[in-house]
Chain A
Amino acid sequence: MEAAHAAPAVTDLWTILLVFMLSTFVGFQVVQNVSRLLHTPLMSLTNAISAIAVVASILIAGEPGNGISTVLGTIAVFASMTNIVSGFMITDRMLKMFKARDPKK
């Protein structure tokens, strides 16, 4: 096989765990501050954000793989892209509906 494939394990496990721990704490902090009014948009937005899996899918679909990996990667790009497009669009659509009281009344 060509050397094009990235060899696994280049980062220390403890570094990744540290990033995971810190991100979880940041997540708890920011999400706890989200108004209950916006919990439905919150779910669709975090859903779109976690579709960042698209970057991994792109690499697998585009690198010279073994056939199976290209097919699986392509389906994964499709699934993630669906979530990105529908997630961001529906979040914005819902947020547009939240209006403050009309000052005229």
Chain B
Amino acid sequence: MSPAIIDSITKFSYVLAAALFIFSLRWLSRPQTARRGVLAGVVGMTAAIVGTLLHPEITTYLWIVVAAALGTAVGIPLSRVPLTAVPQRTALSHAFGGLAAGLVGTAKYSLWLEQDLLTPFKTSAIVIEVLLGYLTFTGSLMAAGKLQEVIPTRPITFRGQNYVNFAMLGIAALSGVALAINPSLWPLFGVVIVLSLLFGVMLILPIGGADMPTVISILNSYAGLSAVAMGFVLDNMLLVTAGALDGSSGFILSLIMCRAMNRSFTNVLFGAFGQVAAATGPVVQKTAKTATPQDVCDMLENAARVVVVPGYGMAVAQAQHRVREVYDQLTKRGIDVKFAIHPVAGRMPGHMNVLLAEADIPYEALVEMDDINRDLPQTDVVLVVGANDVVNPAARHDKSSPIYGMPIIDADKAKLCVAIKRSMNPGFAGIENELYFADNTLMLFGDAKAMLGEIAKALTGGGSGGH
């Protein structure tokens, strides 16, 4: 085949891949068609890879095959992690995406420097690619470390932190401009690489665990944008398209997460959330009413409508399957059971839905915050399992609370609220929850998994007697 024909085949495979990627996301819109979306993505990716391998510029396949085999060997176990570890895996994959962009940019700079092919435009594009790529790499590694709790999850701050960060970014940007003017100043390219790597670490240091869903979305966006920058460097429209899809998806998710916490991007990145919480006023001795699993069982049996509010605590206690047993028992009795999902429940966007789907809870029972809040005043019993800040009524009225203004699930508006909690310790953000002291709230102290197990057992026993 002549090189011209091969080139056309490659280009056609890229156009096909771009179209399939768009269909892939289109089909992901509903659970019914979502798996077709994955298939479209796989076909598109395969087409693009085969189209690339035909390229006559490739003289040796050895390293490609070795690297692809190793990547597959690492990728398969990474796809089998428990669902509680999906946020870490996702952060790790953003890190790999950023790394690939950074390395490709560095390789192109070194090649074009030798051949004297660096134009000011190409150099600027490479600098942006490398900057975004390497900062996404170290930033995502840090995020993965915090999620895996290898690195302390609390915000790490020091005086003048923001000035140090801006100074680093400023020096990197100035080096980039100097490189664009004179691309042969290669030591400055090294400065850009080192500062980007450092900046990624510094960016994540002050971020607390509660902000992880937002941060992971922002890093998603950066990973996409670094692929776009790579497309600009290499004149590759497929990279621009796929990167833009990834980037816009990350951006939308970040917006949703920020809105769900009533915070701005800058506030998340530079606000060190969770730090202020430690300073909340003196602890006032208040008493909460307690209940036993049997009490809760009786209340649930006499209810017509029950709403469960799950939080990350449920996943930590591995209580999803006990929740399902309670769900089964109640639906069998004709009681309407729904799950109220707060957008930031869990450690990444949509995390709670995946955890509940794994426990075989049908997705029709999973309801978004805004929709469930309309129904809560007519709800007989709300069962809070491992959620805390997202049901704290202080967010609605207490201007001094760090979570003031955050949209919450109005669990306090139901006729009765039962909160399962290990102890009175404050949650992730370190804020006391006034829901626990409300008149219509009962506390069920204990491990969520054990307590739900007892409720399920009581329901099974009581149910057989009633029929």
Contacts and interface: CB of A to CB of B under 8 A. Distances in A.
A42 B224 CA distance: 13
B239 interface: yes
Contacts of B90: 40, 43-44, 47
Contact of B25 (A34, A80, A99): A34
A22 B245 CA distance: 10
Contacts of B119: 8-9
Interface string A70-105: 101111111111111111111111111111111001
Contacts, number: 386
Interface string B216-251: 110010011001101111111111111111111110
B303 interface: no
Interface residues of A, number: 90
Contacts of B25: 27, 30-31, 34, 42, 45-46, 49
Contacts of A70: 63
Contacts of B110: 66, 68-69, 72
Given A20-B240, A58-B53, A45 B235 contact: no
A62 B114 contact: no
B262 interface: no
B71 A84 contact: yes
10 contacts: A19-B241, A39-B253, A46-B220, A82-B71, A83-B96, A86-B75, A89-B79, A98-B353, A100-B363, A101-B362
B42 interface: yes
Contacts of B445: none
Please name the 9 residue pairs, one residue from A and one from B, whose CB atoms are nearest each other, closest first.
Answer: A81-B71, A85-B75, A39-B350, A27-B248, A62-B58, A89-B79, A23-B244, A50-B246, A77-B67
Interface in B351-396: 351, 353-354, 357-358, 360, 362-366, 368
Contact of A44 (B30, B61, B93, B244): B93
B89 interface: yes
Given A47-B97, A80-B96, A85-B71, A36 B59 contact: no
A16 B240 contact: yes
A37 B349 CA distance: 9
B247 A27 contact: yes
Interface in B45-90: 45, 48-49, 51-53, 55, 57-61, 63-64, 66-68, 70-72, 74-76, 78-81, 83, 86, 89-90
A83 B61 CA distance: 20
A99 B79 CA distance: 20
Given A42-B350, A82-B78, A100 B248 contact: no
A1 B247 CA distance: 37
Contact of A52 (B34, B45, B331): B45
A99 B357 contact: yes
Given A61-B64, A99-B362, A82 B93 contact: yes
Interface of B: 14, 17, 21-22, 24-26, 28-32, 34-35, 37-38, 41-42, 44-45, 48-49, 51-53, 55, 57-61, 63-64, 66-68, 70-72, 74-76, 78-81, 83, 86, 89-90, 93-94, 96-97, 99-101, 103-104, 106-108, 110-112, 114-115, 117-119, 121-122, 216-217, 220, 223-224, 227-228, 230-250, 252-253, 256, 331-332, 341, 343, 348-351, 353-354, 357-358, 360, 362-366, 368
A28 B97 CA distance: 21
Nearest to B18: A23
Contacts of A8: 112, 117-119, 122, 233, 235
A39 to B, nearest CB: 3
A41 B350 contact: yes
A75 B111 contact: no
Contacts of B74: 78, 82, 86
